[in-house]
Amino acid sequence: MSQISLFSPIQLGRVPLENRMVMAPMTRNRAEQGNVAGAMMAKYYRQRATAGLIITEGSQISPQGVGYPATPGIHNEAQVAGWRKVTDAVHDAGGRIFIQLWHVGRISHPSLQPDGAPPVAPSAVKPAGEAYTYEGLQPFVTPRALETDEIRAIVAQYAQAAKNAQAAGFDGAEIHAANGYLIDQFLRDRTNQRNDEYGGSLESRLRFLTEVVEAVIQAWSPGHVGVRLSPENSFNDMADSDPQTTFNNACEKLGKYGLAYLHMLEGEMLSAERKLDYRQFIDRFGGTYMANNGYTKQTAQQALEEHRADLIAFGIPFLANPDLVERFRQDGPLNEADQSTFYGGDEHGYTDYPFLDKAQALTG
């Protein structure tokens, strides 16, 4: 039997992939007016279409879900049309692309919210830190705790966003339940201090996640839907008193839906250290597992060989190397990422990173 490698094909739910290298979702703040994906974004994603799968940057399911300037949405006709240009470009280049469905919850600011309203959250717990706004960094505010009927309305917004993503030509959707945004805020007990059906017990804290998943797979199908989790990531002032138990239970529940994959940010976002037992998460989910955080070609290949992952997501390496698959295949040099251009700006640091043949010509 041939050895599995990063370049081996895989069937991802209902979607066949040519290799196991995934472009991770990365906020780039290049959306046009109205939070619409434009031509520059279409070029950016097309350049990276040799990835087995592209997962887009987070895309808001509603105006209330916005947490950063110039981030794309998927809740109106103009946004659907903008994303259609992106999916057409990626498909024309032979790629596969999922959209990441996003609601930031408390990680926002009144200046980014409809009518200047406070951001919403499971509970009125103010995050430490500052919000990115059009006027620069501003202190986070105390969010407003959602009413029960509002939570059910947000679940319906996820379902509609999935339908919009289908209309925009995506191959599937990833539910963003990680990194301190709304679903993660319901999962972890630092931010969920409710005592109703959506909080208190672990079972209740998991309810919002499972209702969103059920709504999205009903709108599309399980084989076109993935979920992203981040059990020990403290980004956005997050924590849980017992993350192993919380996320063991989350993974077990998710494993019952026949999802395309589980996308796991392992450890802290800015650290390769893993303190939790990820094998427990893998075993409880029981399906296709996508590992993410600090992987190199060598450590990714090792994870595949040791059955610690079926797919590996790469972030900054794909940001700076649109042809990362070919560079890995040839053991070629990697472009260095320009961090000053990560968030916002023009094509510089976005669509102008050289491909391997051009880089070789420049250094040859």
Catalytic residues: 181
**Which residue's entry shows tokens 């808001």?**
60
- Do residues 266 and 292 make contact, with C-beta atoms less than 8 angstroms apart? yes
Amino acid 9 reads P
Reference 179, options 293, 344, 23, 31; nearest CA is 293
Beta carbons within 10 angstroms of residue 306's beta carbon: 8
Q: Would you give the DSSP letter of residue 147?
A: P
What is the bridge-based pairing of β-strands 97-102 and 172-176?
parallel
Of the candidates 256, 267, 263, the residue with the CA atom closest to the CA atom of residue 231: 267
SS3 assignment, position 189: coil
**SS3 call for 227:** strand
Three-class secondary structure of residue 264 per DSSP? strand
> What contacts 26, CB < 8 A, 6 or more positions away?
57, 315, 316, 318, 319, 342
Q: Give the residue from 279, 308, 305, 306 showing the smallest Cα distance to 291.
A: 308
